Amino acid sequence: AWAFDTYRFDARVIAVGDSTGKLVQAAGQPARIVQLENEYGAVVAERWEYDIDGKTVGFTIRGGKVERIDENR
């Protein structure tokens, strides 16, 4: 996996710290939303996954903001 501070969707750039609203405006709804839980089973964040050009681009969302961007082939 590769981690990034920004990711480009055509002419729009999403950066760590951007809101989920900005992400949806740039990329649309994700293919999947995975809830991320701590060791006690409490949901602490979400991973929004987009399938793009044969790879999965994931955005970790915490508190309504992008916390991490990564890409898996």
Give residues with Cβ within 8 angstroms of 10, minimum separation 6: none
pLDDT digit string, tens, across residues 24-55: 999 999 999 999 999 999 999 999 999 999 99
Strands 43-52 and 55-62, sheet pairing: antiparallel
CA 14 to chain centre: 9
Q: How many other C-beta atoms are found inside a 10 Å radius of the C-beta of residue 57?
A: 22
Strands (E), 1-73: 2-4, 6-9, 12-15, 32-37, 43-52, 55-62, 65-72
Share of the chain above pLDDT 90, in %: 88
pTM of the model: 0.91
Output the pLDDT for position 10.
87
